[in-house]
């Protein structure tokens, strides 16, 4: 009975010290929180609500350290997750139309996909870009393209997330320049840049500069945004691509958090206080197919990061302890065979992300194993989130699976496995050293190989691939990119170069050149000057490459 009293006391303390102050500065949604049969649904359930629940609750409370049950006390009763549909293709004009359509359909934040040349820092007229312009995302060559991309998008009300890494600073500054033209107060600008270059070396490959100068740029972004863009998430430390490359759930947690540790160490070494940048760190995780493992993965990651930030880095601000994350359903699980089954896969993955406490979610479209999504399939993917949000009842209580024997055991097991990897990475000298020696890459490759062997032996069933196959024709309604797009994009870039003030461009690039040559100089201000002068992405990257070089990956066996 003493345990019962202790739990009641702990619950009452949580309501007074965590919930009440949070409610004072936020507002809970005024929905009728009840089941369809009108059974009331409480904000939070603890062992006190279960038969014989007179024992201490070891998993804690939402909005309180170590945040196993969620980073906010009211979670989705306060506000639903941001519904982002990752989109971008062809020209800025075409992508702008898709964004405005999705916003009209109820999307609550933009998520921008860039083409490969943009991700790699090449202009559309660079020979390396030939054949790739606008293919897997939108082509952005200069501020002019960003102005078109965000035309009629109210940046003071719509959050913008961008999957961009090596040239993240430049694309962010293009958004800043557009916001300034719109008259938006930069302190109100919200959004996220992925800006996670370490995972590019390990799992994805869209790097430009070597690790050391890349870390210099990233810490400079932290510094500049802490003063100028206080509501912007300066990095989205990404496990998504690590998982897409074939990692296990525990590896996804460990390698992602190890990268987070590396960024935090680089920032503190550069003189930034951990509580200056810690609250604006965010994460990006995969939602894979094993339903309960994914839910447990998010809970374990939150618990680990809270401990790392409080104990290792000495963060004092509770916001620095909170692992806030965006989730995308797993593209690698989508099948070209019987693509309608992808709707079921995405629904399960999205539900796992919501039950795991995500702050933001993208749901893949059913046709993405074959092509970029059509408007209809993108709308259906968005509707999937909306059905979960408004019809399922799942958001009506916080962490509904908290206290499940299975989920809690999985959470602890994944935390233990992730700690083992983190300890190994620490022995190797940290995330950068572990990547440079090929340890992280080999671990991911081994995990991917083991999974593929299970698929080929049918120990792992993939519906429509190695079981329940059918003879079928590819769908006719696939999105096709106009082959003439590249020529139009190059023509637009040439027009920008003809119309801009060339003397202003060269002066800005010279200033950037001098700053890049000085290892102690800041880079964001001269890059913004170059962006606002309509220097192209490739021109700005070219100046930086002159001093930083281009990364060449070593061969690993």
State phi, psi for 425 to the nearest 5 degrees: -65, -40
Together in a domain, 149 and 277: yes
State phi, psi for 471 to the nearest 5 degrees: -80, 130
Together in a domain, 116 and 201: yes
Count Cβ atoms below 10 Å from residue 294 Cβ, excluding itself.
Answer: 28
Instruction: Return the closest-CA partner of residue 493 out of 537, 527, 542.
Output: 537
Together in a domain, 299 and 221: yes
pLDDT of residue 56: 43
In a domain, 338, yes or no: yes
Count Cβ atoms below 10 Å from residue 345 Cβ, excluding itself.
Answer: 21
Q: Is the peptide bond before 66 cis (omega within 30 degrees of 0)?
A: yes
DSSP string covering 286-325: EE-S-HHHHHHHHHHHHHHHHHIIIIIS---SHHHH---E
- Run of H or E including 160: strand 159-162
Together in a domain, 228 and 279: yes
Give 468's Cβ-side CA count (13 Å radius). 8
Distance CA 130, CA 123 (A): 10
Do 378 and 372 form a contact (C-beta atoms < 8 A)?
Answer: no
Render pLDDT for 153-191 as a digit per residue (tens, 0 to 9).
999 999 999 999 999 999 999 999 999 999 999 999 999
Q: Taking residues 38-43, what's their average pLDDT?
A: 78
What's the token pair of residue 467? 């079981």
Read off the pLDDT band of 55 (50, 70, 90).
very low
In a domain, 97, yes or no: yes
Count Cβ atoms below 10 Å from residue 350 Cβ, excluding itself.
Answer: 26
Render pLDDT for 485-544 as a digit per residue (tens, 0 to 9).
899 999 999 999 999 999 999 999 999 999 999 999 999 999 999 999 999 999 999 999
Read off the pLDDT band of 53 (50, 70, 90).
very low
Instruction: Please give the order of strands across the beta sheet that includes 360-362.
Output: 232-233, 191-193, 159-162, 109-112, 82-87, 360-362, 325-329, 281-287, 235-238
Residue 40: strand pairing partners: 34
Give 76's Cβ-side CA count (13 Å radius). 27
We report the CATH number of the domain holding residue 448 as 3.20.20.240
What angle, rounded to 10 degrees, do the helices at 524-532 and 537-548 form?
150
State phi, psi for 277 to the nearest 5 degrees: -115, -20
Length of the chain: 557
Do 231 and 179 form a contact (C-beta atoms < 8 A)?
Answer: no
Domain boundary among 436, 456, 476: 456
Count Cβ atoms below 10 Å from residue 277 Cβ, excluding itself.
Answer: 23
Domain boundary among 438, 456, 474: 456
In a domain, 136, yes or no: yes
State phi, psi for 69 to the nearest 5 degrees: -95, 10
- As a whole number of angstroms, the longest Cα–Cα distance in the chain is 80
Together in a domain, 154 and 35: no
Looking at the chain, the whole-number percentage of residues with pLDDT higher than 70 is 96
Distance CA 233, CA 444 (A): 27
Instruction: Return the closest-CA partner of residue 411 out of 305, 296, 306.
Output: 296
b/e per residue 166-201 (b: at least 16 CB within 10 A): bbbbbbbbbbbbbbeeeebebeebbbbbbbbbbbbb
* DSSP secondary structure code for residue 282 in this structure: E
Give the 3-state secondary structure percentages of the chain, helix then strand then coil, rounded to 5.
Answer: 55, 10, 40
Together in a domain, 35 and 158: no
Do 411 and 296 form a contact (C-beta atoms < 8 A)?
Answer: yes
Count Cβ atoms below 10 Å from residue 52 Cβ, excluding itself.
Answer: 7
Distance CA 417, CA 149 (A): 43
Residue 123 C-alpha from the chain's centroid: 25
Together in a domain, 27 and 151: no
Together in a domain, 288 and 157: yes
Together in a domain, 341 and 432: yes
In a domain, 524, yes or no: no
State phi, psi for 210 to the nearest 5 degrees: -65, 170
Count the domains in the chain: 2
What angle, rounded to 10 degrees, do the helices at 249-269 and 291-307 form?
20
Comparing 47-51, 230-234, 344-348, 469-473, which segment has the lowest mean pLDDT? 47-51
In a domain, 292, yes or no: yes
Instruction: Return the closest-CA partner of residue 395 out of 65, 58, 41.
Output: 41
Together in a domain, 234 and 179: yes
In a domain, 185, yes or no: yes
Distance CA 180, CA 150 (A): 12
SS3 state of residue 30? coil
Distance CA 553, CA 373 (A): 32
pLDDT of residue 557: 47
State phi, psi for 50 to the nearest 5 degrees: -105, 155
Instruction: Return the closest-CA partner of residue 107 out of 76, 81, 84.
Output: 84
Domain with 131, as residue range(s), is 83-456
Distance CA 443, CA 315 (A): 31
Q: Is the pLDDT of residue 52 over 70?
A: no
Read off the pLDDT band of 1 (50, 70, 90).
very low
Render pLDDT for 294-330 as a digit per residue (tens, 0 to 9).
999 999 999 999 999 999 999 999 999 999 999 999 9
Q: Is the pLDDT of residue 2 over 70?
A: no
Distance CA 153, CA 179 (A): 10
Render pLDDT for 436-495 as a digit per residue (tens, 0 to 9).
999 999 999 999 999 999 999 998 999 999 999 998 877 777 777 777 889 999 999 999
Together in a domain, 39 and 107: no
Comparing 274-283, 415-424, 474-483, which segment has the lowest mean pLDDT? 474-483
**Lookup result for tokens 């092509």:** 371
In a domain, 537, yes or no: no
Do 19 and 74 form a contact (C-beta atoms < 8 A)?
Answer: yes
In a domain, 246, yes or no: yes
Q: What is the pTM of this model?
A: 0.88
SS3 state of residue 360? strand
Domain boundary among 456, 488, 521: 456
Together in a domain, 269 and 355: yes
Distance CA 73, CA 165 (A): 32
**327 Cβ contact list (under 8 Å, min separation 6):** 284, 285, 286, 287, 298, 353, 356, 358, 360, 361, 362
State phi, psi for 154 to the nearest 5 degrees: -75, 100
């Amino acid at each position: 009975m003493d345990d019962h009293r202790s739990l009641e006391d702990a619950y009452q303390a949580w309501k007074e010290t965590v919930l009440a102050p949070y409610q004072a500065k936020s507002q809970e949604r005024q929905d009728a929180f009840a089941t369809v049969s009108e059974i009331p649904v409480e904000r939070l359930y603890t062992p006190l609500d279960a038969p014989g629940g007179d024992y201490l609750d070891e998993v804690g409370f939402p909005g309180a350290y170590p945040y196993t049950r969620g980073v906010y006390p009211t979670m989705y009763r306060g506000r639903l997750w941001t519904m982002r549909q990752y989109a971008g293709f062809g020209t800025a004009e075409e992508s702008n139309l898709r964004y405005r359509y999705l916003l009209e359909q109820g999307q609550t934040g933009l998520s921008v996909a860039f083409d490969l040349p943009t991700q790699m820092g090449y202009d559309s007229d660079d020979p390396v870009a030939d054949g790739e312009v606008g293919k897997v995302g939108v082509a952005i060559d200069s501020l002019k393209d960003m102005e078109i991309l965000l035309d009629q998008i109210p940046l003071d009300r719509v959050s913008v997330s961008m999957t961009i890494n090596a040239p993240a600073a430049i694309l962010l500054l293009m958004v800043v320049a557009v916001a300034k033209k719109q008259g938006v107060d930069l302190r109100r600008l919200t959004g996220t840049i992925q800006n996670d270059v370490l995972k590019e070396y390990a799992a994805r490959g869209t790097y430009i500069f070597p690790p050391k100068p890349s870390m210099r740029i990233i810490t400079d972004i932290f510094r500049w945004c802490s003063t100028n863009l206080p509501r912007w998430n300066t990095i989205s430390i990404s496990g998504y691509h690590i998982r897409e490359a074939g990692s296990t759930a525990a590896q996804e947690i460990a390698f992602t958090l190890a990268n987070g540790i590396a960024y935090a160490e680089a920032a503190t070494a550069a003189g930034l206080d951990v509580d200056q940048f810690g609250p604006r760190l965010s994460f990006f995780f995969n939602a894979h197919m094993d339903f309960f493992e994914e839910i447990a993965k998010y809970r374990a990651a939150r618990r680990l990061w809270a401990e790392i930030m409080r104990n290792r880095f000495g963060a004092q601000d509770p916001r620095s302890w909170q692992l806030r994350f965006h989730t995308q359903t797993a593209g690698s699980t989508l099948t070209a065979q019987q693509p309608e089954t992808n709707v079921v896969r995405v629904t399960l993955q999205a539900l796992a992300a919501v039950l795991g406490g995500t702050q933001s979610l993208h749901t893949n479209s059913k046709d993405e194993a074959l092509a970029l999504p059509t408007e209809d399939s993108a709308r259906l993917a968005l509707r999937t989130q909306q059905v979960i949000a408004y019809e399922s009842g799942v958001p009506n209580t916080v962490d509904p699976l908290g206290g499940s024997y299975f989920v809690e055991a999985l959470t602890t097991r994944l935390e233990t496995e992730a700690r083992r990897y983190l300890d190994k990475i620490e022995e190797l000298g940290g995330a950068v050293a572990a990547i440079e020696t090929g340890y992280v890459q080999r671990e991911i490759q081994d995990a991917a190989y083991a999974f593929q062997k299970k698929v080929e032996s049918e120990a792992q069933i993939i519906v429509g691939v190695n079981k329940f196959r059918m003879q079928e024709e590819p769908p006719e309604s696939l999105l096709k990119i106009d082959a003439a797009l590249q020529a139009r994009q190059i023509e637009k870039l040439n027009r920008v170069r003809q119309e801009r003030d060339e003397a202003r461009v060269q002066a800005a690039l010279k200033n950037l050149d001098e700053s890049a040559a000085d290892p102690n100089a800041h880079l964001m201000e001269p890059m913004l000057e170059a962006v606002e002068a309509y220097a192209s992405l490739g021109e700005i990257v070219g100046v930086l490459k002159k001093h930083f070089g281009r990364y060449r990956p070593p061969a690993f066996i």
